[in-house]
Amino acid sequence: MVQIFKFLLKSTKGPPRAHFRPSFLDTLRLTVRGGHGGNGLPKYGGVGGQGGCVYFVAKEGVTLRKLAQSVKDKRVVASGGEDSSKVCIFGRRGVDQRLEVPIGVQVYDEQHKLLGDLNEPDATCIAAGGGVGGCVGNNFIGRPGDSRTVNLDLKLIADVGLVGFPNAGKSTLLKAISNAKPKIAAYPFTTIRPQIGTIEYSDLRCISVADLPGLIEGAHANFGMGHKFLKHIERTRLLLFMVDIFGFQLSQQHPHRDCLTNIYALNKELELYDASLLEKPCVLLVNKMDQEGAQDIWTNLKPCLNHLESQLAQCPEELRPTQVIKFERILPISAKNLGRVAKVKSQLRETLDKLAEQHFVADGEHLREELQQRVGVRGPKIT
């Protein structure tokens, strides 16, 4: 008996076990309603107060889980405006409901119309406006506030998104190059929720990298966990593909796919999910080069990687993409070898800096054209 009590006491001391910890939440549905407008006072021409509104504000360090826990019954109602009275001709406005959400949340209505994209700190979106107070225009009767159901959809904001099949070594790399401490294990689907790590450079520049759960064939059609998490790479500036040089086999029931086929399969998955993702700059990492036999495979693979389009015939038809990805860089690495990983770090930065420069030049040109148009053809030439 004493042993049992001791065991129970012990088990409450430590940190909660992984499966008891609250899981990652990246969507939330809420019903929101603006406050009712207060009534006016016809005798004195008094105007009722406007109802309060419900609005979202993006804040750092907030999670959707926290918001879900703080909202009772998933309903948020702002208070109504006060009626106009003899002592207060203009009724007081209702109190607004301010809800803090994580940065990167998009707010949609029931028809999937985007109401607001809260992608920077303090960005605000009014989800339900308050009703107008009673006045001459509405017979002194206050109007009800907006009422709707909104869907909050969190899309992580990171500079780089790690994409690959399970077990490729994505988390091993993230752990080696950033401050993140992801779980690493020799079985597929070790990572079950997205995680962001920050790479710090000696000049204090920081780059954020998102590690996503491994994709599987059919992820675009919601097989595995892929579809749920693919949305998180929509906002990244660079896609970092990672493949195992020895290929990947999900289970005994699934065929073994070699490294080249896996690259096409990842390409296909992204294409089927959203072809515009392929327009993003991409870098390919071929991992586990430290293992025996890897160098031989690499010698045969390298020429194919430089001509991915002409090698398409080698790929099974069902995995063949229509638009082949063009990789900015292809690096053979070993995520376990810190020397090689340092190279990934510097190459990532170089690629991102080059992209930022290109954008800067493109933006400058766009601005110049716009200015020239405003000044007119006869105005001074803007250079």
Alpha-carbon distance of 103 to 17, in angstroms, equals 28
When binding is defined by CB under 6 A, the residue of 336, 347, 355, 372 that contacts ligand GTP is 336
166 near ligand GTP, judged by CB under 6 A: yes
Strands 105-108 and 114-118: antiparallel
- Binding region for Mg ion (CB under 5 A) out of 11-19, 154-162, 190-198, 229-237: 190-198
Contact 235, 212 (CB under 8 A): no
3-state SS of 363-377? HHHHHHHHHHHHHCC
Report the SS3 class of residue 6: helix
When binding is defined by CB under 5 A, the residue of 31, 151, 190, 249 that contacts Mg ion is 190
Q: Which distant-in-sequence residues (6+ apart) come within 8 Å of 336 by Cβ?
A: 169, 172, 176, 290
- Contact set for Mg ion, span 149-188 (CB under 5 A): 171
- Binding region for ligand GTP (CB under 6 A) out of 178-186, 278-286, 298-306, 369-377: 178-186
Side-chain half-sphere exposure of 244, counting CA atoms within 13 A = 20
Task: Point out which residues pair with 283 in neighbouring strands.
Answer: 240, 329
Nearest residue to 368 via CA among 358, 380, 356, 353: 380
Report the SS3 class of residue 121: coil
Residue 64 CB neighbour total at 10 angstroms: 18
Alpha-carbon distance of 19 to 228, in angstroms, equals 20
291 near ligand GTP, judged by CB under 6 A: yes
Alpha-carbon distance of 167 to 267, in angstroms, equals 18
When binding is defined by CB under 6 A, the residue of 186, 204, 313, 377 that contacts ligand GTP is 186
- Binding region for ligand GTP (CB under 6 A) out of 198-206, 246-254, 334-342, 346-354: 334-342
When binding is defined by CB under 6 A, the residue of 290, 304, 328, 372 that contacts ligand GTP is 290
194 near ligand GTP, judged by CB under 6 A: no
Alpha-carbon distance of 77 to 99, in angstroms, equals 11
When binding is defined by CB under 6 A, the residue of 35, 49, 169, 332 that contacts ligand GTP is 169
Q: How far is the CB of 2 from ligand GTP (least distance, A)?
A: 41
Alpha-carbon distance of 153 to 366, in angstroms, equals 32
Q: How far is the CB of 168 from Mg ion (least distance, A)?
A: 8
When binding is defined by CB under 6 A, the residue of 106, 171, 178, 208 that contacts ligand GTP is 171
User: Tokens in use for 16?
Assistant: 């909660």
178 near ligand GTP, judged by CB under 6 A: no
The residue whose two tokens read 């204090």 is: 204
CB closer to ligand GTP, 39 vs 287: 287
When binding is defined by CB under 6 A, the residue of 287, 327, 344, 345 that contacts ligand GTP is 287
Q: How far is the CB of 248 from Mg ion (least distance, A)?
A: 13
Task: Point out which residues pair with 28 in neighbouring strands.
Answer: 152
Q: How far is the CB of 197 from Mg ion (least distance, A)?
A: 12
Q: How far is the CB of 219 from Mg ion (least distance, A)?
A: 15
345 phi/psi in degrees, rounded to 5:
-60, -50
When binding is defined by CB under 6 A, the residue of 50, 79, 191, 351 that contacts ligand GTP is 191
18 near ligand GTP, judged by CB under 6 A: no
Report the SS3 class of residue 133: coil
- Binding region for ligand GTP (CB under 6 A) out of 169-177, 198-206, 245-253, 348-356: 169-177
Q: How far is the CB of 291 from ligand GTP (least distance, A)?
A: 5
Contact 112, 66 (CB under 8 A): no
CB closer to ligand GTP, 58 vs 199: 199
> Where does this chain bind Mg ion (CB under 5 A)?
171, 190-191
> Where does this chain bind ligand GTP (CB under 6 A)?
164, 166-172, 184-186, 188-191, 213-214, 287-288, 290-291, 334-336
